[in-house]
Amino acid sequence: MMDSDIARVGSTQSTPILLFDDECAVCRRMAGWVRSVARNAIGERTIDVRPIGEDPEALRKLDPTLDIWKVYAKSHLLMPDGTVLIAGEAVAEVLRRSPGMAWCAWLFSVRVFGMRPFQGLLDLGYVILSDVRPIFGCKSCGAPALWARPFVWMVKTTKRLTGAKPRAPHRANFTPLVATSDPKPQSQPRPK
């Protein structure tokens, strides 16, 4: 884990910090995507993407209001001015700060009769993606939401019919210690 890295940054960070769940394969892929797109014209990162880790105190050193359980539940983006954006709001800000995605990011600020309809859609999309993560093999993400369970069943049935290698049977309320079927990328030795 990179808890020490999290703690070291503290409030002196000049770029936002996106905290992601390193145990969730879907979240790791999203984090990898953000790392690739959130760069300015000279290739500097515009967002610092960091795993949440397992140290509540390291998180509180970043921001005393952070509760590690809540940070694992939803994406948190720590802004340099001390504000914390959560879930769909964090996604919108990530898009705003990703030069390649800025073309769509302005939509999330559009107001119609005081409402932000596109931000609302983004929030809904965030909830849907969050709820369906177990379908994509995230065993640490808990049970799929009720509405997503038919889809989980469809995915499992399709895989069984197509002869795909079955995953270990799911045990209620229990996260196996080998949490993901998608192995974490191993760090490569630096070339000399």
Partner 1 sequence: MNQSLTASTRNSHVSPSDGIPNLDAAGFETRVMQGLGPIAVEFMSYSCAYCAAMEPVLQQVAETLRSRERIFRVNVAVELGLAGRYEIEGTPTLIMFSDGQEVGRAEGPDPDVATILAVVAEPFGIE
State how far the Cα of 47 lies from the Cα of 37, in Å rounded to an integer.
9
Nearest residue (CB) to partner 1, 97 versus 133: 133
Three-class DSSP category at 14: coil
Decide: is 161 part of the binding site for partner 1 (CB under 8 A). Answer: no
DSSP summary character for residue 112: B
Query: Using the rule CB under 8 A, which residue among 100, 117, 142, 150 binds partner 1?
Result: 142
Nearest residue (CB) to partner 1, 13 versus 15: 13
Decide: is 64 part of the binding site for partner 1 (CB under 8 A). Answer: yes
Core vs surface per residue 57-78: b (16+ CB within 10 A) or e: ebbebbbeebebeebbebbbbb
Sole window of 22-30, 37-45, 95-103, 152-160 interacting with partner 1 (rule: CB under 8 A): 22-30
**180, 137 contact by CB (below 8 A):** yes
Decide: is 13 part of the binding site for partner 1 (CB under 8 A). Answer: no
Q: Which spans of this chain sit near partner 1 (rule: CB under 8 A)? A: 1, 21-24, 52, 54-57, 60-61, 64, 68-69, 72-73, 140-143, 171-177, 179
